[in-house]
Chain A
Amino acid sequence: MILLWLILVLLIGGVLAWLADYWYTPLCRWVSVATLAVDLWLGLRLWTLSPTNLALAANGPWVARLDWSWIPSFGIHFHLAADGLSVLMVVLTLALGLAAVAASWTEIRERVGFFHFNLLWSLAGTLGVFLAFDLFLFFFFWEIMLVPMYFLIAVWGDQRRIYAAVKFFLFTQGSGLFMLIAILGLVFVHHQATGVYTFDYFQLLGTHMAPRVAMWLMLGFFLAFAVKLPSLPFHTWLPDAYTAAPTGATVILAGAMAKTGAYGLIRFVVPLFPEAAHRFAPVAMALGVAGILYGAMLAFAQTDMKRLVAYSSISHLGFVLLGVFAWNLLALQGAVMQMIAHGFTAGALFIVVGAIEERLHTRDMGRMGDLWTRMPRMGAVGLFFALASLGLPGLANFVGEFLVLLGAYRVDVTLTAFAAVGLVTATAYALILVQKVFHGQPREQWQVPDLGRRHMTVMLAIIAIVVWLGVYPNPVLDTAQVAIAGLRQPVATVSSSGHKS
């Protein structure tokens, strides 16, 4: 039941926040904070639950599970479950949700209630994606989370909001349709083999199919996740959407929603189609490396501060793609770590950008400079996250990137070498950001207040998390490890049986 409550609390909270607007506008924000706090508490409780031996087909420590029949004629169930990977993603999403609410506190002044409604509902959809273990339900949540996010961008975004919102929606929904076709294909292949209609993840694992069929179905899934992540050829929606969205929405988009793509790759693409994924791995890893370098290069070339951070996201998530398709324990742990680290650092950087934009009403770095003297706290925080972003040892991103490189090295040395260059390019764009914004000659005389107490609280909390994960990442790595071990199990059995035959 705790899984259902995780989602329900957000849905109810969203409605309450909207209603609160009719009564007393500032109350919406507090309703959102309270909702997220309760939900985060639930999420953390889920983390501390001891893994119980729920009778699920795939091995792995399943901490909770809920299975109700939904559309019996098609074998569709309302099936939620959580293992370590899901739990980590849930906690990340909720923590970023709190940060997003704090970041929107003064930025959103119009239609506040409706804003928080959309914010909480998009988070609910995201949680659903992380918890759904019926492919139909998964797709359901996958689409659901887009709609409120679309409204967040289209109603509260900047001048190019409508173009960006439509582009975002088209890319993700369109690619999702191909995933739906692939899901249906998989279900019918399973039906042909067993005579049973089911959308259940655990029953569909290990479905036998012809290699060509597996490849097509795998590509259907990959397309949806690659767009969401985003991977290189499908990334063009990202800079527009991230830049046009209001800060709170960008934090969720970059921090939490992008992770659904990575999560999908880990949870579905490789376990469901192990052999096809194995054959496809060189291409995917190459796309990952290309993303790392291309994203870094474009980030370096930006003059718009928000766009710079957006392109750096492409670069960082390239590491995740690389790690997932290397598919060994180290690389996967690194990928999970990178997902979490990127969630926090990119989220925080977007909040800094948002705070600067709120004060200066511009994101053009050509008009900034020497802001450190005006806003020392902002400068310090910005520098910290820029350093985290470039992968400074001792901070979370370093752990993730290092583990990914270590794991990928065992699979493909050449690609890993190119990926490692990404660490250098990251230094370039991270430092150029700090240099142009906070140092150098002041281009204009800005008289602006420094970061306030609310922002500082959020920032310090994220700093603490990033340092903690950088210095002592074991709690996360351990949680991820057992889940990953469970995920890799079916892959191992399939490939070993393949050897026998």
Chain B
Amino acid sequence: MSAADLTALLPIIMLTAFTVVVMLTIAVRRNHWVTAALTLTGLAAAFASLAASASVAPRGVTPLLVADGYALFYSALILAAAFVVTVLLYGYLEDSDGQQEEMYLLLLTATLGAVVLVYSRHFASFFLGMEVLSVSLFAMIGYPLDKKAPLEAALKYLVLAGVASAFLLFGMALVYNQVGTLAFAHLGSMLQSGRYAGSPYLLAGVALVVVGIAFKLSVVPFHLWTPDVYEGAPAPVTAYLSTVSKGAMFALLLRYFMQADVYRSHHVMVAFSVLAIASMLIGNLLALLQNNVKRLLAYSSIAHMGYLLVAFMAGGTLAVVAVSYYLAAYFVMTLGAFGVVTVLSRRDRQRDADHIADYQGLFWQRPVLAGVFTLMLLSLAGIPLTMGFLGKFYALAAGVQHALWAPVIALAVGSIMGLFYYLRLIVAMFRTAPEQAPAGLALVRSSPVPVTGALALTGLAVALVWLGIYPSALLDVIHSTAAAFM
């Protein structure tokens, strides 16, 4: 392995090294602040090393991994999101009894898995990254061992992850059995030869892989675990699960489809249309019925995966650009929304601040916090001045360009349905505050927001508006990665 190869993998190496460092630090002495600071340093170092990797990109390292602009862009996104979640976690766990430090360790390993995922160009590394990510997430979800809901959620997630892995492995095996390779690009060239057209085993293999990924992305009808896990997990972990885990998976899906040229398969694309339309309509429909903010955001994330699939199905440069921008927007607004839930919650409370009633009148008591939440919700609804609008614009543009009329119409209808429940939450914040704050939350609501949380939310809000109004810088980066990727 040459120096250039190591440079290309520097972000992964950094994350691994800091995982070990954090682990040893915890072994020597437990200190919440030190652990969090070390984790942040590790993430920042990995982020900084992206620049070094960029100097040698694009470069394939072993048949498994590739450090190209695409991988670096998504690594940057994942690392930034992990950074924000760490900051939120600190405020959430601070002042609580029990062990807080291992959470950061798990967060680092999960991030490592996610970064490996976006570097993958081979089924083997895909599977490795996914397992590292899922196993860490399982422990993060069930971290508050003294509460029932997180344990239940963790168990559900474990079962789901097992099922998804089984599907994936079986699918990979079938593909390998037919084509004799597990590398994406090689798959693509083999398929192009046309020798495998109509092979039922290959189609079944691809279908099983898609099902495994769909489970992870919680696309309808593979979404049943999502609301329970979202509700049960601690708020910052939900934020992480919703962004990093799904984002990495989506990035991988796009790379797989582009390089293995699965777009040529008519059957698969029809299946994706059905998945996308079902996700947008059913996700939004079920979100209408929720009174729990976390569940509501869970269903909304199902719908957003549907919107992303519309952009994804278009294929070509515009699809890469649209998916990348949309994911960036989705990261910012989802982290922001769960961030607000987080800063109103504490680890040692009976439950997180996740009922709509908890937000009644928030605007008149905490105008800035409620303002940030309003911004995030408007962005999720796709209202201009925010990244969410441009994301939806790009998704629609990709869909219209490729004349995917049914998904495009479903996107419009889904967005209209989405407005209902986002507005419902906004209206709640602008109502008159109740005489008595909900029990247990009164203290949190009147106590000041943790400085860390305030910083994170401010940063997210600024990014949301700035990149929503002036996206050229981000779009330039995305365009260059997409160009290199094609």
**Residues in chain A within 8 A of chain B (CB atoms):** 70-74, 111, 136, 139-141, 143-144, 146-147, 150-151, 154-155, 162, 165-166, 169-170, 173-174, 177-178, 180-181, 184-185, 187-188
- The answer to whether A181 and B412 touch across the interface, beta carbons within 8 angstroms, is yes
Q: Which residues of A contact B430 (CB under 8 A)?
A: 151, 154-155
- The answer to whether A170 and B427 touch across the interface, beta carbons within 8 angstroms, is no
- The answer to whether B400 and A185 touch across the interface, beta carbons within 8 angstroms, is yes
Q: Which residues of A contact B415 (CB under 8 A)?
A: 173-174, 177
Most buried by A among B383, B384, B415, B475: B384
- Say if the beta carbon of B451 comes within 8 Å of chain A: no
- The answer to whether B383 and A143 touch across the interface, beta carbons within 8 angstroms, is yes
Q: Which residues of A contact B401 (CB under 8 A)?
A: 184, 188
- Say if the beta carbon of B389 comes within 8 Å of chain A: yes
Q: Which residues of A contact B20 (CB under 8 A)?
A: none
- The answer to whether A147 and B400 touch across the interface, beta carbons within 8 angstroms, is no
Q: Which residues of B contact A188 (CB under 8 A)?
A: 400-401
Known: A147-B383, A174-B412. A184 touches B397 (CB 8 A): yes
- The answer to whether A147 and B397 touch across the interface, beta carbons within 8 angstroms, is no
- The answer to whether A170 and B419 touch across the interface, beta carbons within 8 angstroms, is yes
Min CB distance A114 to B, Å, is 9
- The answer to whether A174 and B393 touch across the interface, beta carbons within 8 angstroms, is no
- Say if the beta carbon of B479 comes within 8 Å of chain A: yes
- Which residue of chain A has its CB nearest to the CB of B471? A71
Bound state CA distance, A154 and B419, in angstroms? 14
Known: A73-B479, A143-B383, A184-B396. A169 touches B419 (CB 8 A): yes
- The answer to whether B400 and A70 touch across the interface, beta carbons within 8 angstroms, is no
Min CB distance B138 to A, Å, is 38
Q: Considering the complex, which residues of chain B in the window 393-433 have a beta carbon less than 8 Å from any beta carbon of chain A?
A: 393, 396-397, 400-401, 408-409, 412, 415-416, 419-420, 423-424, 427, 430
- The answer to whether B412 and A143 touch across the interface, beta carbons within 8 angstroms, is no
- The answer to whether B397 and A73 touch across the interface, beta carbons within 8 angstroms, is no
Q: Which residues of B contact A180 (CB under 8 A)?
A: 393, 396
- The answer to whether B423 and A169 touch across the interface, beta carbons within 8 angstroms, is yes
Since A70-B472, A185-B400 are in contact, a sample of 6 more A-B pairs with Cβ atoms closer than 8 Å, ordered by chain A residue number, is: A147-B378, A169-B419, A174-B419, A177-B412, A180-B393, A181-B412
Q: Which residues of A contact B471 (CB under 8 A)?
A: 71
- Bitwise interface map of B from 446 to 486 toward A, beta carbon under 8 Å scored 1, else 0: 00000000000000000000000011100110010000000
Q: Which residues of A contact B37 (CB under 8 A)?
A: none
- The answer to whether B393 and A143 touch across the interface, beta carbons within 8 angstroms, is no
Bound state CA distance, A184 and B427, in angstroms? 32
Q: Which residues of B contact A74 (CB under 8 A)?
A: 397
Min CB distance A78 to B, Å, is 10
Bound state CA distance, A166 and B417, in angstroms? 11
Q: Which residues of A contact B128 (CB under 8 A)?
A: none
Describe A's contact surface by its main secondary structure.
Answer: helix
Q: Which residues of A contact B396 (CB under 8 A)?
A: 180-181, 184
Q: Which residues of B contact A111 (CB under 8 A)?
A: 364
- The answer to whether B412 and A166 touch across the interface, beta carbons within 8 angstroms, is no
- Which residue of chain B has its CB nearest to the CB of A189? B400
Min CB distance B378 to A, Å, is 7
17 A-B residue contacts at CB 8 Å? A70-B470, A71-B472, A73-B321, A73-B472, A73-B476, A74-B397, A143-B383, A146-B383, A147-B383, A154-B427, A154-B430, A165-B423, A169-B419, A170-B416, A174-B416, A181-B400, A184-B397
Q: Which residues of A contact B383 (CB under 8 A)?
A: 143-144, 146-147, 173
- Say if the beta carbon of B385 comes within 8 Å of chain A: yes
Q: Considering the complex, which residues of chain B in the window 361-375 have a beta carbon less than 8 Å from any beta carbon of chain A?
A: 364
Cβ-closest 4 pairs across A and B: A174-B416, A184-B400, A177-B412, A140-B384
Bound state CA distance, A327 and B472, in angstroms? 40
- The answer to whether B384 and A144 touch across the interface, beta carbons within 8 angstroms, is yes
Bound state CA distance, A144 and B419, in angstroms? 15
Bound state CA distance, A141 and B469, in angstroms? 12
Q: Which residues of B contact A70 (CB under 8 A)?
A: 470, 472
Min CB distance B206 to A, Å, is 30
Q: Which residues of A contact B472 (CB under 8 A)?
A: 70-73
Bound state CA distance, A136 and B384, in angstroms? 11
Bound state CA distance, A329 and B409, in angstroms? 37
Q: Which residues of A contact B408 (CB under 8 A)?
A: 181
Bound state CA distance, A143 and B415, in angstroms? 13
Bound state CA distance, A169 and B383, in angstroms? 11
- The answer to whether B385 and A144 touch across the interface, beta carbons within 8 angstroms, is yes
Bound state CA distance, A184 and B419, in angstroms? 22
- Which residue of chain A has its CB nearest to the CB of B401? A188
- The answer to whether A162 and B412 touch across the interface, beta carbons within 8 angstroms, is no
Bound state CA distance, A185 and B321, in angstroms? 18
Min CB distance B360 to A, Å, is 13
- Which residue of chain B has its CB nearest to the CB of A136? B393
- The answer to whether A170 and B420 touch across the interface, beta carbons within 8 angstroms, is yes
Bound state CA distance, A378 and B471, in angstroms? 52
Known: A144-B385, A154-B427. A173 touches B475 (CB 8 A): no
- The answer to whether A166 and B385 touch across the interface, beta carbons within 8 angstroms, is no
- The answer to whether A166 and B420 touch across the interface, beta carbons within 8 angstroms, is yes
Bound state CA distance, A216 and B419, in angstroms? 25
- The answer to whether B416 and A166 touch across the interface, beta carbons within 8 angstroms, is no
- Bitwise interface map of B from 208 to 230 toward A, beta carbon under 8 Å scored 1, else 0: 00000000000000000000000
Q: Which residues of B contact A169 (CB under 8 A)?
A: 419, 423
Q: Which residues of B contact A150 (CB under 8 A)?
A: 423
- Which residue of chain A has its CB nearest to the CB of B475? A73
Bound state CA distance, A180 and B394, in angstroms? 11
Partner of B419, one of A173, A178, A187: A173
Min CB distance B483 to A, Å, is 11
- Which residue of chain B has its CB nearest to the CB of A162? B427
Q: Which residues of A contact B384 (CB under 8 A)?
A: 139-141, 143-144
Bound state CA distance, A166 and B475, in angstroms? 33
Min CB distance A199 to B, Å, is 11
- The answer to whether A166 and B397 touch across the interface, beta carbons within 8 angstroms, is no
Q: Which residues of B contact A71 (CB under 8 A)?
A: 471-472, 475
Q: Which residues of B contact A151 (CB under 8 A)?
A: 430
Q: Which residues of B contact A141 (CB under 8 A)?
A: 384
Q: Which residues of A contact B420 (CB under 8 A)?
A: 166, 170
Partner of A166, one of B378, B400, B409, B427: B427
Min CB distance A130 to B, Å, is 17
Bound state CA distance, A136 and B471, in angstroms? 14
Bound state CA distance, A141 and B383, in angstroms? 10
Min CB distance B426 to A, Å, is 8
Q: Which residues of A contact B416 (CB under 8 A)?
A: 170, 173-174, 177
Q: Which residues of A contact B393 (CB under 8 A)?
A: 136, 180
Min CB distance B479 to A, Å, is 6
- Which residue of chain A has its CB nearest to the CB of B424? A166
